[in-house]
Amino acid sequence: MRAVATFVHGVEAVVRLFGWIAAWTCVGLVGLVAGDVLMRYVFRIGAVWLQELQWHLISPIALFGMSYLLMMGEQVRVDVFYERFPTGLQRVIEIIGGLLLLVMGLYIAWLTLPWIAQSFARGEVSPNPGGLPLRWLLKSLIPFGFVLLALQGLAHALRQAFALPTRGE
């Protein structure tokens, strides 16, 4: 049981770190958008790379944030039914959901690997003049984010299966 708790806490520490990165990426994105708007409307200058960077930053926010939201219990569920179920059934649903998330996350990550390898092999860059290089690097966040989600799904299932206290208990 101690090994399970150590594993769950380890996974959640990593997820917490990437949740922190996602949160600060949001702050950076707000600064970039404000700076871009200021440059375009006040100084009448703009840069394609700056606009591309803005939508590139949405990727780590979503891909890292989804694991963090699961860890914090902010995932989407149909609470109108779920809250009426007995605690044992809720726990079973959480375990099955976590295990399905593990399988789905790993499968999606695996599906994206050839796509990223192709992007890397081609040396894919932005098609826009003045755009960002290394498009494969951005694409590589996809399997990483889904592996992180899969690990958090497993940690979630283990936390429920072994009745480990949730955050704050």
Select the more confidently predicted residue: 120 or 77.
120
How confident is the model at residue 167, as a pLDDT? 59
pLDDT tens digits, residue range 79-120?
A: 788 888 999 999 999 999 999 999 999 999 999 999 999 999
Comparing CA positions, the residue from 168, 161, 152, 163 lying closest to residue 8 is 152
Helix (H) or strand (E) holding 91: helix 87-122
Number of H helices, E strands in the chain: 6, 0
pLDDT tens digits, residue range 23-71?
A: 999 999 999 999 999 999 999 998 899 999 998 999 999 999 999 999 9
Q: What are all long-range contacts of 88-94, with beta carbons under 8 Å and residues at least 24 apart?
A: 91/160, 91/161, 91/163, 94/156, 94/157, 94/160
How confident is the model at residue 169, as a pLDDT? 44
90: exposed, middle or buried (Cβ count in 10 Å: 0-12, 13-18, 19+): middle
CA distance 23 to 164: 27
* CB 135 within 8 Å of CB 124: yes
Split at pLDDT 50, 70, 90, the class of 131 is confident
